[in-house]
Structure 1
Amino acid sequence: MKYGIIGAGAMGYRYGVMLQANAGVEVDFIDTWEPNVEQVKAQGGVRVARDHQNAHVVPINIYYPEDYQGHPDVWIIFKKQMQLADELKRDAPLFHDDQYVFSAMNGMGHFEKIAQYFPHQHIVGGTAMIATVLNGPADVDFMGAVGSEVMHMGMYEGTQDATVKQIVRDFTAAGLNPSWSDNFMGMCMSKVVFNAVTNSLCTMFEIQMGQFISYPGVRAMATQMFNEAYDACERAGIKLIETRQEEIDSVETVSRAYQYHYPSMYQDFSKGRPTEVDYINGYIAKIGREHDYVCRVHEFVTHEVHLAETMRQFKKDKNAVPAS
């Protein structure tokens, strides 16, 4: 099958390059960030490293939406939540009823937007415990050893058909290590509540995951935040695919495995971009409010991240000479 990647960023490059290189399938990349597209064209592909080592240029096909004439069997979407609605509107002329779509974006809210353009039975959702860093235009770093990739997949509606089964086979051949789940919301929310701890707290304190886990109180903080999220989900009738204890334990194991990694929320924050906290901690809080349960910690953390975003304007240039 042929794949089209919408969003040639950190995760879009990770999925597309691994599918192209390991599964041997045809992949096209669609992107709207001009420096990224032009740099790919200038250097003949995307520069790929793994854990800062063995950087090399991988040839890829990349297009602006308006220039693309292809017809992929499957679209793979990786955009920031805040950008998705405008991106889908711009890409809409490329979509056809026979196409399928997969997305494993951070946070929640994207599937409702995607469902406006594709048959619900053609939407495959996912979560990815795969750390990747976009260093700059056409320059990506795959974090973690080969084979360390972990992801889940599930149907937005309906059951697997022949095309979906082929997607799973291609992802497996690519080395993305997919696991199938029939519990769509439980699968998605398990990743959201994990990110609500690691992404948000690392961002507020501008630290790597290894630095984060060095604090002795992390387990107690994670327990408090997970318990609140699980309580909200239970009231909404959502059963997560991992137990509370498994989520708590995963904070330590994942943070140690990716000790030098800055979560994606921090990567946005450090570059002066808005974060996706409203689609992570804010989404958990929204579920709580809708079911008469106030997620006080997640409401507070959402405000704290937005406060940190606002305070960026007051940070002085470290290299500036102080006034006499």
Structure 2
Amino acid sequence: MKYTVLGAGAMGLRYGVLLQEAGFDVDFVEIWEPQIEKIREQNGVFVSRDHVGKHLVPINIYTPEEYAGEPDVWIVFTKQMQLADALKRTAHCFKDYQYVVSPMNGMGHIDKLNQYFDQSKVIGATAMIGTVLNGPGDVDFIGAKGAGSMHMANETEKPDETTHEIVEDFQKANLNPVLTTNLMGTLMAKVIFNSVVNTLCTMFQIQMGEFIQSPAAEKLSKQLINEAFDVCERAGITLLNTREEEWETVQYVSSVSNPLHFPSMYQDMSKGRNTEVDYINGYIYELGLKYHYEATTHDFLRNLVHLAEFSRDFDVEALEKSVLAVEMAK
């Protein structure tokens, strides 16, 4: 099948490049101009693995407006807050026969995809795969070849022949897919994972392997996991893991699979971009409110991240000059 990746950031590039290397026809559509310009300038994207083996991989990349391809499957990897605009700009390419797979972080994307794709063609997914965009046209795959995994679930929870073909293609690309028939349980398991690792690593600017070594890691993780499970139980969502298994996943991925990884939320924070915390910890808190439960730790962390975003934007030198000017005027 032919694939088109909408959102050629770190994860979009990883999926697309791996599928391309497995022999599939892949296009990339991107909304960030510096990424498009750099990839075109150097005739491809530079790919490393764990900071070594940097090499150029030729790819086809387009803006939404200029793209005219007709893929069988879209793979959507934009940020949650960019999705509505990206879909609107690309809508002229969407066809009734096309499927869409979206392993995005956070929650909120399924409803937006439903505005353009029939539910029978929507596949929700999660990716436990670490990837870093060093800069425009330069991506680093974290973990050994074949490392990482993903879960997929049809929105209808009824896999069809095309779904199984997509799963087979992803397996050939070493993405290690697992197909489930539990959409919300599948998606929320990753949201809960991210609500622990992404948020805490971002707040303290540490890699996952550093986080898990802390004596406080287990207590903090279990507090967040327990709150999230309380919310899901009230919402009638059956998760893929138990509470203890979710903690074990945090341990394993942080210490074995991706110890050198800075989560995507940290990458956004460090590069001056807004984070997806409202779609992760914020989503858990807001879902809990619908069922008369307050996941207060998640709300506290969400607001801490927003405070960090706010304080990051202060120009200390300008502030000092302003204070000095006020003092001199007295």
TM-score range, shorter chain: over 0.9
- 1:132-281 paired onto structure 2 within 5 Å: 132-257=131-256, 258-281=258-281
Most deviating of 164-173 and 32-41: 32-41
- 1:245-324 paired onto structure 2 within 5 Å: 245-257=244-256, 258-314=258-314, 316=316
Structure 2: gaps spanning 5 or more residues: 325-330
| Cα deviation digits, residues 280-307 of structure 1 (max 9, x gap) | 0000001110001111111111111111
| Cα deviation digits, residues 155-177 of structure 1 (max 9, x gap) | 01152222111101100000000
The answer for the alignment partner of 2:328 in structure 1 is none
Does the aligned pair in 1 maintain the 2:3–2:27 contact within 8 Å? yes
Does the aligned pair in 1 maintain the 2:64–2:86 contact within 8 Å? no
Q: CA deviation at 1:148?
A: 1.2
Does the aligned pair in 1 maintain the 2:227–2:295 contact within 8 Å? yes
The answer for the alignment partner of 1:113 in structure 2 is 112
SS at structure 2 position matched to 1:166 = helix
| Cα deviation digits, residues 4-46 of structure 1 (max 9, x gap) | 1101100100000000102x11000011211111111111111
Distance 1:64 1:305 in 2: 31
**TM-score between both structures, scaled by the size of structure 1:** 0.96
The answer for the alignment partner of 2:128 in structure 1 is 129
The answer for the alignment partner of 1:13 in structure 2 is 13
Query: Are positions 1:82 and 2:93 aligned together?
Result: no
Matched to 1:140, the amino acid is: V
Most deviating of 1-10 and 257-266: 257-266
Most deviating of 13-22 and 58-67: 58-67
Q: CA deviation at 1:316?
A: 4.1
Does the aligned pair in 1 maintain the 2:3–2:26 contact within 8 Å? yes
SS at structure 1 position matched to 2:313 = helix
| Cα deviation digits, residues 161-214 of structure 1 (max 9, x gap) | 221111011000000000111111001000000100110011111111122112
Distance 1:221 1:36 in 2: 37
User: How many residues get paired?
Assistant: 318
Q: CA deviation at 1:314?
A: 3.2
Matched to 1:180, the amino acid is: L
SS at structure 2 position matched to 1:66 = coil
Identity value in percent: 56
The answer for the alignment partner of 1:104 in structure 2 is 103
How much is the aligned-residue C-alpha RMSD, in angstroms?
1.3
Distance 1:41 1:202 in 2: 33
SS at structure 1 position matched to 2:261 = coil
Structure 1: gaps spanning 5 or more residues: none
Distance 2:217 2:103 in 1: 26
SS at structure 2 position matched to 1:65 = coil
Q: CA deviation at 1:66?
A: 1.5
